[in-house]
Amino acid sequence: MAADRTQKRLRRRVYFAAFFAMVWSVGIVWRLVDLQVKKRDELLSKALRQNQRVIEIDAKRGTILDRNGHELAITREVESCYGVPGKIEEPARAAAAIASALADPSLRSDLLDRFQSRKDFVWVARKLPAEAVEKIRNLDLEGIGFIAESKRFDPKEELASHLLGYVGMDNSGLAGVEYQYDRELRGMPGKVVVEIDARQREFSYSTLVPTQPGSNIILTIDEVIQYIAEHELRAAVERHHARGGSITVMNPRSGEILAMANWPTYDPNELQGSREDQRRNRAIQDCYEPGSTFKIIVAAASLAEKTARIDEKFDCQLGAIEIAGHRIRDHKPFGVLSMDEIIEYSSNVGSIKLGLRLGNQRLYSYMRAFGFGRPTGIDLPGESSGILREPKDWSLISIGALCMGQEVSVTPLQVLSATSAVANGGFAVRPRLVRQIVAAGGQGWSTPTTLPPVRIIDSTVARDLGDILTDVVERGTGIAARMDGFSTAGKTGTAQKADSKTGRYAPGKHVSSFVGFTPVENPALAMIVVIDEPEGAYYGGLIAAPVYKICAERILRYMNVFPERRQSVRPQVTYASLSRGEQAAYAAEGGGGEVDDFRPSRREPSDEEPTVESAQLSREPDGPFHEAPPTQPGPAFPDLHGKTLREVAHVLGPMGVSFDASGSGYVIDQSPRPGAPIGKRCRLVLSLQRDR
């Protein structure tokens, strides 16, 4: 009996133990299923987070090169520092140590916030210089590691910085070509896996997704021409204590930009230390009233529409004309001038008469055809369209103001593009900066789409206008741009700047410019020089034209363009080198009405504008300024003493002789003297007074 009870008790214990073992086994199996199946992904992810880090890596950005393959923007491999907050034992000490190593105490609080966050990964500092990496690595901090990244670097520093632009910390382009072609340059980012040991030290890297490098971009610019433009621009700005300036050089036939220089400038490698005005591309973003350079458009329209002939005489009414009850004065009391002389000597009254013959609508249509009032379409971001109002918004006096280059706002590139149409025989071409896009590894290339040239004026008109602009440089306001061995066609411009507060022209603030192309018959380049707010003399012929000459001479030598004609030695034209009378004559030709504080609806030019009281100046190809003698015997100047201007015009008109006059009443003096032979392009200067 006792044995049976013992047996039953043992059996119950065995059953209980078996049941407990079975339940335990089921629990274990259930737990294993839960961990291995149900929670597999979650736990695997947690394990990987503890032992691995997946980091996105920027692709190597494509290289930007000049037209000859010289590197302008490249990518270097640098190290970035990161942290794993959960593994940083003393966040406050780590933040203070790193801030001290980077010599930036202000980082301490920011780093502390990052280290105390619940994130699995935080950046400490990205794309560090080698010295900084070494200092942080020597701290031997747990939870702090390094990974390789790419950083943009411009080896030529400031050279072409406004064209190239710059990139942000995330490898995205933010300005210039870097922004415009960001998709092509940046490539495709990749991912790497960093494995970490128990002490949070990296011991291996593996690529999860490989990066795809960006394409290389070949620009149209030439780094040597770019350097010449930047060097001469800086020298001119510093010489004249100007606020800034720009020089753009272009192939007038293809539209390729050979150089685009701006001052002030900046170094993309030191972006944080630059100002907004240093980063601004003035050549495409700064708008200004063009002044007399706009007379190119008036002349082109007049020739194209046959409303005037080159040799046609216009009475410039001794420098005054009345439009809609407003009296507009010229910068000098010109008498009778031919059309080409109107442009050569920059007569406002003559230009207005040309514009009046055209009428509002025809003049406006040519302004639009030459590209004003809209962007040129260059492949750069942020281009301004300028301002050109439609004729319905013009006042009665607007046509007069526009013919002098007022009431219109332009960019330097717009003026250069318009002048290039004259240089290339009458075609509008779109400026472009990128020549080729080459895939990584050289596997294929493409050329950006360009619009075909559009004819806007006849080739004959372009040739005649080129001859007129050549005279501007040979004898007119642009004589300081004249070069030994090369013919140049161009136009000076001098304009006052508006005061944004008063809405009137600001006294003492001017924009001096010169635009032209060289050589005239087969142009190798077209160029515009713009100097903003020079101190002292401010006429375009004295400030910008000499810069054009220096740049063009250096560029043509570099391009191996052979001289067209015999070279000679001539003194350089500077304001200080001229006599007082010559300064007055130069001022009248180069500035005058161009720089009037003229507001059509409010005031007339000041009576203190320069006038010419001495003989008109001319210049032979190989000599200094002097009174122009004839080269061969011929008709002689008549004696005009005691005659009125009406009588003078009656006598000289049939002879085809142009004249300038100062004063009013009767002729008391003339130059050249009576009996002097009449030479080619020789002008007569008269002095008048009321009493005989």
Alpha carbon separation from 183 to 269, 341, 371, 377 (Å, rounded): 21, 52, 29, 19
Candidate list 80, 150, 161, 292, residue with the active-site label: 292
Residue 111 forms beta bridges with which residues? Answer: none
What distance in Å separates the CA atoms of residue 258 and residue 559, rounded to the nearest whole number? 11
3-state secondary structure of 40: helix
The number of beta carbons lying within 10 Å of the beta carbon of residue 590 is 34
- Cis-peptide, bond into residue 213, ω within 30° of zero: no
Calpha distance 217→215 (Å, rounded): 7
26 burial type by CB count under 10 A (0-12 exposed, 13-18 middle, 19+ buried):
exposed
Alpha carbon 556 to chain centroid, angstroms: 21
Q: Which of 171, 211, 170, 216 is nearest to 192 (CA)?
A: 211
**What is the token pair recorded at 647?**
């009588």
Least Cα distance to 490 among 459, 457, 523 occurs for 523
Whose CA is closest to 247, among 549, 600, 562, 9?
549
* E strand residue ranges, 229-381: 244-250, 257-263, 313-315, 320-323, 326-329, 336-338
89's enclosing H/E stretch is none
- Is 183 strand, coil or helix? helix
The label of the residue with tokens 């022209």 reads: 505
CB 686 within 8 A of CB 670: yes
Helix count and strand count (H, E) for the chain: 22, 26
Can 487 be counted among the known catalytic residues? no
Q: Which long-range contacts (CB under 8 A, 24 or more apart) does 243-247 make?
A: 243/532, 243/533, 244/277, 244/282, 244/532, 244/533, 245/282, 245/529, 245/530, 245/531, 245/532, 246/282, 246/283, 246/286, 246/412, 246/528, 246/529, 246/530, 247/527, 247/528, 247/529, 247/530, 247/547, 247/551
Helical H segments across 360-474, by residue range: 360-369, 398-403, 412-423, 459-474
Catalytic residues: 292
